[in-house]
A = this chain, B = another copy of it.
Amino acid sequence: MATANETPVEARLDETFAALANSTRRAILARLAEGAASVNELAAPFELTLPAISKHIKVLEHAGLITRARRAQFRPCAIDASSLALVAGWAEQYRHIWDDRFDRMDDYVLALQNSKHRRRDDQ
């Protein structure tokens, strides 16, 4: 929920983090990272109804994470990384906190990518 009296940047972070706090929406983003897609294409992998996907897309769009075009009766979506860059930049603020204890963040990128056997030797 957008807390009262926020700066524009804080409000944007609210929206962006909220949009990312849902695995369906993150999966849609991951799909769009491969290239633009129509709503039906985006909906295909999910068991949700089309209106549900449509709403997720609206949330992503409003958070600035995707952009939309009109081509015939299609409304193709494309990823817009500027809000993702905002998130990455926000998290980078705290890098020194985990850099003190952990080697490289690349380990976490790898842990994310093959999350099936996550090995975290520290902690």
Chain B residue with Cβ nearest A123: B113
Q: Quick check: B109 and A81 within 8 Å, CB to CB?
A: no
Question: Which residues of chain B are within 8 angstroms of A81 by Cβ–Cβ distance?
Answer: 94, 97-98, 100-101
**A55 within 8 Å of B (CB atoms):** no
Q: Interface residues of A, CB < 8 Å — how many?
A: 53
A108–B88 CB distance below 8 A:
yes
Instruction: Say if the beta carbon of A95 comes within 8 Å of chain B.
Output: yes
Known: A97-B79, A112-B89, A113-B123. Contact between A17 and B14, CB under 8 A? no
List the number of copies, as a whole number.
Answer: 2
Is B79 a contact partner of A108 (Cβ separation < 8 A)? no
Flag A75-100 by CB within 8 Å of B: 1 or 0 each.
00001011011111111111101101
| Residue contacts A-B, CB under 8 angstroms, 11 given | A8-B115, A9-B118, A10-B26, A13-B26, A17-B22, A79-B94, A81-B98, A81-B101, A88-B92, A89-B108, A114-B123
Q: A interface vs B, CB < 8 Å?
A: 1, 3, 6-11, 13-18, 20-24, 26, 29, 33, 79, 81-82, 84-95, 97-98, 100-102, 105, 108-109, 111-115, 118, 121, 123
